[in-house]
């Protein structure tokens, strides 16, 4: 792969311009979602953003402090590793695959002159330590391989600040098989953006569907033939889910019966089981409505949405 094209200098454009440039291609943080590997997002989510149907996610506290700490982590990593590290304040674009863009956190130069991608993560100790120690989460791995695809470089350093007080890093080598898969999947997705046609949905598409189709109209349509198969799958899964819930409740009750009035217990294998007493104060909304209807009305909020259900042909005729 050739050297990437510099699309823009991030320090010379506004945040709004940066968002506009990001809409013109698939970034590293989009990669896992586009490939259906994200726990938090879906291809439809990314499609809504790239087509301008969903505004950019507003900066939250985690994003703010991540951006604030990035130069500090970069400097400290350079000090601890002894490697040369420079900021990369550019939006980059792949020459061979223009739909692939990158905004990397830096470039590392090893002692033999090898250039590497730098990716910085700041995260909390509760969610990240096990993931980082077991290997990179899928979202991070896809992001890094995407950056290696765009830059043409052969290696990346993923530097993680955990809980604000633990710095560690991993080296990720370029994986050509993974990169070719990413290119194929991202190219397939980008075609939906170009044609302005929504991509297929997955398990994480619920919020995106609610945004795309927020309200229903008083109409009924004849669904395509595939709907019958989907309904059969849905009902079969729901039945299995109900059976599992019942089995779970029965098992839980058997354990409670073994505990009796004890707060906790330990199994012979060392598992801890607890059934603790607690108390909780709640507002009696029914009494409050009777006694202070004006106050209830003042603080009542209407929530809109759409309720999904499936009924059998017999039930629908009654």
Q: What is the pLDDT of residues 1-52, one digit of tens each?
A: 678 999 999 989 888 888 889 999 999 999 999 999 999 899 999 999 999 9
Asked whether residue 145 is assigned to any structural domain, the reply reads yes
What's the structural domain count of the chain?
A: 1
CATH, residue 162: 3.90.320.10
Whether residue 281 is contained in a domain is answered as no
What's this model's pTM, rounded to 2 decimal places? 0.82
Give the strand pairing for 90-93 and 101-102.
antiparallel
**Residue pointed to by tokens 């209407």:** 302
Measured in degrees and rounded to the nearest 5, phi and psi for residue 159 equal -105, 125
Residue 268 lies in a domain: no
Does residue 162 form part of some domain?
yes
Q: Is the pLDDT of residue 299 over 70?
A: yes
Note down the domain range covering 105: 5-209
Q: What is the pLDDT of residues 260-272, one digit of tens each?
A: 999 999 999 999 9
Arithmetic mean of pLDDT, 296-301:
80
Quick one: pLDDT at residue 318?
A: 46
Whether 267 is covered by a domain: the verdict is no
Point out which residues pair with 212 in neighbouring strands: none
309: in domain: no
**pLDDT over threshold 50, residue 80:** yes
pLDDT in tens, 107-152: 999 999 999 999 999 987 655 555 555 678 899 999 999 999 999 9
**What pLDDT does 78 receive?**
96
Residue 104 resides in a domain: yes
Tell me: the pLDDT tens digits for 148-190? 999 999 999 999 998 888 999 999 999 999 999 999 999 999 9
Q: Kindly state whether residue 310 falls inside one of the protein's structural domains.
A: no
pLDDT at position 190 is: 98
Cβ within 8 Å of residue 73, ≥6 positions away: 120, 122, 159, 161, 167
In angstroms, what CA-CA distances link 2 with 25, 26, 88, 95, 177? 18, 18, 18, 7, 18
Confidence of residue 96 (pLDDT cuts 50, 70, 90): very high
For range 277-293, the mean pLDDT: 82
Q: Structure tokens of 127? A: 């969610």
């Amino acid at each position: 792969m050739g050297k990437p094209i510099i699309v823009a200098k991030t320090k010379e454009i506004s945040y709004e311009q940066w968002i506009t440039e990001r809409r013109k291609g698939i970034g590293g943080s989009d990669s896992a979602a586009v490939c259906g590997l994200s726990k938090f997002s879906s291809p439809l989510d990314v499609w809504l953003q790239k087509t301008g149907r969903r505004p950019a996610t507003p900066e939250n506290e985690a994003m703010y402090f991540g951006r604030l700490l990035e130069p500090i982590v970069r400097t400290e990593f350079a000090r601890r590793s002894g490697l040369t590290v420079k900021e990369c304040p550019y939006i980059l674009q792949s020459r061979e695959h223009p739909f692939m863009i990158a905004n990397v956190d830096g470039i590392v130069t090893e002692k033999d002159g090898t250039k590497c991608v730098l990716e910085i993560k700041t995260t909390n100790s509760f969610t990240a330590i096990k993931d980082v120690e077991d290997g990179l989460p899928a979202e991070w791995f896809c992001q890094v391989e995407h950056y290696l695809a765009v830059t043409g470089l052969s290696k990346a350093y993923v530097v993680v600040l955990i809980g604000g007080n633990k710095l560690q890093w991993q080296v990720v080598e370029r994986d050509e098989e993974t990169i070719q898969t990413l290119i194929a999947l991202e190219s397939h997705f980008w075609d939906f953006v170009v044609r302005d046609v929504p991509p297929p949905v997955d398990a994480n598409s619920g919020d995106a569907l609610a945004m795309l189709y927020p309200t229903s109209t008083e109409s009924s349509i004849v669904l395509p033939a595939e709907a019958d198969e989907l309904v059969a799958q849905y009902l079969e899964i729901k039945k299995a889910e109900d059976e599992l819930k019942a089995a779970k409740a029965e098992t839980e009750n058997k354990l409670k019966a073994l505990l009796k009035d004890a707060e906790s217990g330990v199994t012979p294998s060392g598992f801890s089981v607890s059934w603790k007493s607690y108390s909780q104060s709640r507002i009696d909304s029914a009494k409050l409505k009777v006694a202070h209807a004006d106050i209830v009305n003042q603080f009542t909020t209407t929530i809109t949405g759409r309720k999904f259900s499936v009924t059998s042909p017999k039930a629908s005729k009654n």
